[in-house]
Amino acid sequence: MATIYWEGKADAVAQVTTATPGGTISTETFTLTLADATVTYTAQGGDTAALVAEGLRDAWNASTHPYFAAVTATAATGVVTLTADTAGVPFVVTGSVTGAATLTISTTTVNAGPNDWSTADNWSANTLPATNDTVIIQNSSVSILFGLDQSSVTLTQLEIDQSYLGKIGLPEDHFALDADTSDTSKPEYRQAYLAISATAIHLGRHQGNTSPVGSGRIKLDTGSNQTELNIQNTASVSADANLQPVRWIGSHASNVVNVTRGNLGVAMNQPGETATIATLNVGQRGNVSTDARVDLSSGVTLTTLNQAGGNVTLGCNVTTLEQSAGTLTSSEAAAITTAHIDGLAYFNSTGTISTLVVAPNGQADFSQDPRARTVSNCQLHKGASLNLDNGNPLSITLTNGMDFIRAEPNETTLTIGPHVRVTLSAF
């Protein structure tokens, strides 16, 4: 149960991996693969292991694909030796072969360097973080890009302070050649999220009267273990265009996320990502309504959203929405079981709202999207505002009409649009 600090001080060591052909060689095809890129050599009758190794070497070095260009191949005594061109930057290679021959892959020198989580020299006391430890990352600009599969570790606490200016995780739309440069022609094939569990995660704490700018990329995958993610601040600008500076995924049914300032994306990085949140609390510091911003994709399973400020983009279903302040925008096909609106909500999704309650200060606005929507039950309190004028008012179905709770219709702000019929009844 130690407290361990990130230092990012390790010397860089180039990864060395060997590929050894063997078995009965006749006319088999030998393949080396990086992600979806391959090089092959097809043996001729009478080829030896040495000739196969030389053929694979030549095919590898002749490739202009960025994945292969970052690694140099040599061959000797029937073994292909693959060496990273940049020390501290790993690669992931697999091998296959047809027929009775074999192709054995072995890493003889493991990658190490200042950007590698799994290099012990990067940590205080030269010790890797282990289960039940507390990890603190602060006062550093050294990025953590490699050795990101720490899914067997469950920390007691992970703290990434606002004083940390490096990046955690890799971009997925371009291939990282080192900590600072990349090839934009190909996507990243290595693990892009820091996969680690933690009982509690704290992002954006800082000391003093000024707030440092924070990290432009923090990508966390807490896996199937329960976590409480607390975000007090993030960088205002992401290192990755059109994405949030902090991105998180995790699948435990009881995850809790608390955001008071900063910009968080949940399962927003790539199509098909998923995450589960039991309770999401979004607030704000001071009177700045834009302090917090949370974007939720359609891949999120969300039970309860409590919004007391900031901006939330809701692309997923939610069972209970309690909004006391701030701005919410629903999108995609997000369905809501119960929504209590006391701030500003733009409903731009096609999902059904089973019960919509608009409080005295609440504004429910359906005007931005002309698509068909259904609100099963709608309750308006005195001072509430409801805008149904989306240019196609008949596209919004109020299954059970509108109930005015302790209010006359003229004590609310109701915008419907032309050419509609209103039928009055008691409830």
What is the reported pLDDT for 288?
Answer: 57
Q: Which residues of the chain have pLDDT under 50?
A: none
Q: Which residues contact 301 (CB under 8 A, 6 or more apart)?
A: 274, 275, 276, 277, 316, 317
Q: Which of 76, 70, 142 is nearest to 111 (CA)?
A: 70
Identify whether the C-beta of residue 311 lies closer than 8 Å to the C-beta of residue 334: no
d(CA 425, CA 427): 7
Alpha-carbon gap, residue 344 to 7, rounded angstroms: 44
Secondary structure element (H or E) that encloses residue 314, with its range: strand 300-314
Positive or negative, the Cα torsion across 267, 269, 272, 273?
Answer: negative
The pLDDT value recorded for residue 186 is 96
Q: Are 183 and 177 in contact (CB under 8 A)?
A: yes
What does DSSP say about strands 71-76 and 79-84: parallel, antiparallel, or unpaired? antiparallel
Question: How high is the pLDDT of residue 212?
Answer: 72
The β-bridge partners of 357 are 340, 379
Alpha helices in 142-249 (DSSP H): none
pTM given for the model: 0.94
Strand partners, 379: 357, 403
At residue 270, the pLDDT reads 87
Predicted local distance difference test score (pLDDT) of residue 211: 62
